[in-house]
A and B are shown apart, each in its own frame.
Chain A
Amino acid sequence: MTAGSAAPERDLTTDGAATERDMTASDDGQADSFELDRAAFEAAGRRRRTSDRVRRIGAYATLSLFVVISVGPALYLISPAFRDSVSLFAYPPEWIPRRPTLENYRFLFRNTEYIRWGVNTAVYATGVTLVSLVTNSLAAYAFARLRFPGRKVLFFLILSTLMIPVAAVLAPTYLTVRTIGGWPLIGDWIDLDTYGGLILPSAVSPLGVFMMKQFIETLPGGLYEAAKLDGASEWRIFRKIVLPLLKPALVVLGIFVFMITWASYLWPLVAATGDDYRVLTVGIQSLNGQFVTNWGVMGAAALLTIVPVTIVFLFFQKWFVQASMAGALKQ
Chain B
Amino acid sequence: MEGSVAAGAAEEWAELTLSPRQYRQRARRYRARTSRRAIGFLAPYTAIWAVFLAFPVGWGVWLSFNTGGILGTRQFVGFENWTRAWGDTEIRTAVRNTAVYMVIAIAVVFGLAIFLASLLNKHRRGSNFFKLALYFPLLAPPILGAMMWFFMVHFDFGVLNLILRQFGGAGINYLGENPNALLTIVAVEVWRGLGFWVLFYLAGIQAVPEELLAAGRIDGAKAWRRFARITVPTLRPLLLFALVVAIIFNAQLFDSVQVLTEGGPALGTATVVWFIFKRMFAFQDTGLAFATSVGLLLVILAATLLSFWALAKRQAREA
Q: Could you say which of A41-49, A97-105, A168-176 contacts chain B? A: A168-176
A309 to chain B, nearest CB (A): 5
Whether A302 contacts B49 by the Cβ 8 Å rule is: no
CB <8 Å contact, B311 and A331:
yes
CA distance A263 to B137 in the complex (A): 12
* Chain B interface helix/strand/loop/mixed: helix
Report the separation of the CA atoms of residues A270 and B280 in the bound assembly, to the nearest whole angstrom.
Answer: 10
B228 at the interface (CB under 8 A from A): no
Q: Is the CB of A164 within 8 A of B136?
A: no
Beta-carbon contact of B304 and A160 below 8 Å: yes
Instruction: Verify if A201 is at the interface (C-beta below 8 Å from B).
Output: yes
- Judging by beta carbons under 8 Å apart, are B203 and A138 in contact? no
Q: How close is A47's CB to chain B, nearest CB, in angstroms?
A: 15
Once the chains are docked, how many angstroms separate the CA of A3 from the CA of B219? 7
Closest chain-A Cβ to B241's Cβ sits at a distance in Å of: 8
Interface centre among B52, B152, B162 (most CB of A within 10 A): B52
Q: Is the CB of B139 within 8 A of A70?
A: no
Q: In the complex, how many residue pairs between chain A and chain B have their CB atoms under 8 Å apart?
A: 283
Contact across chains for B123 and A70 when beta carbons are under 8 A apart = no
- Determine if B41 and A141 form an interchain contact, defined as CB atoms under 8 angstroms apart: yes
Task: Confirm or deny: B57 has a beta carbon within 8 angstroms of a beta carbon on chain A.
Answer: yes
Once the chains are docked, how many angstroms separate the CA of A4 from the CA of B215?
7
* B122 CB contacts on chain A under 8 angstroms: 59
Q: Given A167-B296, A265-B143, does the pair A206, B49 have CB atoms closer than 8 Å?
A: yes
Which of A63, A93, A295 touches B130 (beta carbons < 8 Å)? A63
A161-B57, A176-B51, A324-B138 known; A63 vs B151 contact (CB < 8 Å):
no
Interface positions, chain A 122-179, Cβ under 8 Å from B, are: 131, 134-136, 138-139, 141-142, 146-149, 151, 154, 157-158, 160-178
Which residues of the other chain, A, contact B200 by a CB distance below 8 angstroms? Answer: 325, 328-329
Number of interface residues of B (CB under 8 A): 99
- 1/0 per residue B182-197: CB within 8 Å of A? 0000000001001110
A282 to chain B: closest residue by CB? B143
User: Is A214's CB within 8 Å of the partner chain B?
Assistant: no
Contact (A147, B142) CB under 8 Å given A169-B57, A329-B200: no
Are B245 and A328 in touch, CB under 8 angstroms?
A: yes
Which of chain A's residues have a CB closer than 8 A to the CB of B191? 69-70, 73
- A288 lies within 8 A of chain B by Cβ: yes
A114 at the B interface (CB under 8 A): no
Contact A317 B119 (CB under 8 A): no
Stretch from B18-26, B89-97, B172-180, B247-255 that touches the partner: B247-255
Contact of B218 among A24, A200, A206 (CB under 8 A): A24
Among A74-82, A219-227, A244-252, the stretch in contact with B: A74-82
From 222 to 241 in chain A, residues with beta carbon under 8 angstroms from any chain B beta carbon are: 234-235, 238
- A162–B57 Cα distance when bound, in Å, is 13
Q: Is B300 a contact partner of A24 (Cβ separation < 8 A)?
A: no
Q: Does B273 contact A (CB under 8 A)?
A: yes
Q: Does A262 contact B (CB under 8 A)?
A: yes
Which B residues touch A96, using CB under 8 A?
none
Point out the residues of chain A lying under 8 angstroms from B303, CB to CB. 163
B31 CB within 8 Å of chain A: yes
**One of B103-111, B229-237, B285-293 contacting the partner:** B285-293
Which residues of A have CB within 8 Å of B70?
A: 175, 178
Residues of B close to A264: CB separation below 8 A: 141
Interface status of B10 (Cβ within 8 A of chain A): no
B46 partner, pick from A148, A154, A174, A175, beta carbons under 8 A: A154
Q: Does B59 reach chain A (CB closer than 8 Å)?
A: yes
Cα distance A200–B149 in the bound complex, in angstroms: 32
Quick check: A170 and B293 within 8 Å, CB to CB? yes
Nearest-CB distance from A183 to chain B (Å)? 12
B248 in contact with A163 (CB, 8 Å) = yes
Q: Do A168 and B52 form a contact, CB below 8 Å, given A76-B152, A281-B141, A284-B144? A: no
Alpha-carbon gap, A270 to B148, bound state (A): 24
Task: Determine the chain A residues whose CB is within 8 A of the CB of B37 once the complex forms.
Answer: 146, 234-235
Which A residues are in CB contact (< 8 Å) with B311? 331
Contact A176 B55 (CB under 8 A): yes
The reply on B34 being an interface residue by CB < 8 A is yes
B116 at the interface (CB under 8 A from A): yes
- Could you tell me the distance in whole angstroms from the C-beta of A261 to the nearest C-beta in chain B? 10
Instruction: Give the complex CA separation of A270 and B258 in angstroms.
Output: 14
Q: Looking across the interface, which residue of chain B has its beta carbon closest to that of A157?
A: B54
Partner of A305, one of B31, B144, B151, B281: B144
Q: Does A298 contact B (CB under 8 A)?
A: yes
Between A and B, 10 residue pairs with Cβ closer than 8 Å are A20-B217, A59-B122, A76-B152, A135-B48, A163-B304, A167-B276, A169-B53, A170-B277, A320-B135, A329-B203
Contacts from B to A (Cβ < 8 Å) = 31, 34-35, 37-42, 44-46, 48-49, 51-57, 59-60, 63, 70, 112, 116, 119-120, 122-123, 126, 130-145, 147-152, 156-157, 159, 162, 166, 191, 194-196, 199-200, 203, 214-215, 217-220, 242, 245, 248, 251-252, 254-255, 258-259, 262, 273, 276-277, 280-281, 286, 289-290, 293, 296-297, 300-301, 303-304, 307, 311
